[in-house]
Amino acid sequence: MTVRLVTDSTSDLPAEWIRDFGITVVPLHVVEENDKTVSTAAVTPDQLAEIYERLLSDPDCTGIVSVHLSRGLSRTWESAADAATRFGGRVLVSDSRGAGMAYGAAVAQCAWAATNGLGLSGVYDLAERLCRGASTFAALESLESLRRGGRISAVAAIFGGVLAMRPVIVLRGGTVDLSAKARTTTKAHQRLRALLRDEIERTDVLVVVHHHEAAERAEEMATEIRKETQFPERVMLVEFDEVLAWHLGPGTVGVSVTALDDPEFPIPSPSPQSVD
């Protein structure tokens, strides 16, 4: 008897974890008009209810924990919460307050814990704890993509664009903040690593380097981070999905940090996704 995990594609989960831990991933999409991406689309309550019903029809499924992109960034959490009301407490929905592998790593750890016997309330509590402490830092080429998608204020976008500055943002606790700025991409990446330093020096974290159309710089970032941690094998490299990529813009390199609840948790090696 097992608790099942449901999440959405912005968790950027490696295929190996999805397969091995039986995680259900609901795709989010970009919306195109005249061959141009103009927005992104969340999943509907009915779509999620259909997924929950199918999973719960399995006698081996004791319940579902559904963890999604921060409710401050997407309506997906609201859709999940709406759908969950139809199942009499058998589906618990968690707001990740994050994006990418900051919460994807939490989902994977929860699914692994569920396969090892953790019950519904325990899996939900673990998801809440891991997501609450997770962070994502990202060095962008500009704030224009975030402004266009309505994810950061026009004032911040203007500030980030002054003198062609490269902004560094942090997503923590469901809030996107502008943390630093630099005149060049190289300097922005140095600022990002400085912001990360205290977190990656801990021994109980999983670090994931993300990118969108910046494979070489992401490799460089991962290499530098591995030099600064006692556990370089816990530094992964994963490409942003299409929804996060549209909001962040080309050239973005991000780093997520999530607590590692159990040192025995299996981390794929080599990196589970290609950055080509």
Position 112 scores a pLDDT of 97
Q: Kindly tell me if the per-residue pLDDT of 237 is higher than 80.
A: yes
Express each pLDDT in 82-108 by its tens digit. Answer: 999 999 999 999 999 999 999 999 999
135-259 CATH fold: Hypothetical Protein Tm841; Chain: A;domain 3 (3.30.1180)
More confident of the two residues 268 and 15? 15
> If pLDDT is split at 50, 70 and 90, which confidence band does 152 have?
low
CA dihedral over 173, 99, 148, 157, signed as positive or negative: positive
Fold of 2-132: Rossmann fold (3.40.50)
Alpha helices in the chain (DSSP H): 15-21, 45-56, 76-84, 101-115, 120-132, 144-148, 154-161, 185-200, 215-227, 242-248
Instruction: Please give the Cα distance from 114 to 262 (Å, whole number).
Output: 13
Would you place residue 271 in the very low, low, confident or very high pLDDT band (cuts 50, 70, 90)? very low
Domain ranges of the chain: 2-132, 135-259
φ, ψ of residue 64 to 5 degrees: the values are -130, 135
Window from 100-114, 159-173, 195-209, 234-248 with minimum mean pLDDT? 159-173
pLDDT of residue 272: 42
Q: pLDDT (tens digit, 9 = 90+) per residue, 155-185?
A: 455 555 554 688 899 999 988 888 888 999 9
2-132 shares its CATH topology with 135-259: no
Could you give the CA distance from residue 57 to residue 68 in angstroms, rounded to a whole number?
A: 22
Residues for the chain: how many in total?
A: 276
- The model's pTM is 0.90
